[in-house]
Amino acid sequence: MQRVQSMLATPVQTVQRPDGPGPKPKKQLRLGNRIREELGLPLREELNWWQRISWKLKASFFVILLAVVFAIFQINTLAIIFGLLGAFLLITGLKKSFKTRRPWL
């Protein structure tokens, strides 16, 4: 009886984990790459937030900024031309960004 009680009285030792960092969890793939992985096709490169922005939106920002500079210096003709060009780029870039992707079925 004393042996059984002494075994129950001793605290249970837990397995200690090393303090170092463990393996990183695998990054979740986007839908297109998950499908490609299932089909055995080569994966496409993942784009960061800057690469996913349309070139038209990036260009429109600088063109409109240039139009504002021309307007400050009172070069009205160039300000109007660059303003219209910037507005066109902005509208077409936003159309492309907000285009809804409809499923096949």
How many Cβ atoms sit within 10 Å of the Cβ of residue 33? 16
Cα(7)–Cα(104) distance, rounded to whole angstroms? 66
* Mean pLDDT to the nearest integer, 2-30: 65
Residue 87 has pLDDT above 60, yes or no: yes
Identify the pLDDT of residue 88. 97
Cα(92)–Cα(79) distance, rounded to whole angstroms? 20
The answer to whether the CB of 94 falls within 8 A of the CB of 57 is yes
Top pLDDT among 29 and 75 is at 75
Residue 63 has pLDDT above 70, yes or no: yes
| pLDDT range class, residue 105, cuts 50, 70, 90 | very low
Side chain identity at 16, as an amino acid letter? Q
Please state whether the predicted TM-score (pTM) of the whole model is above 0.85.
no
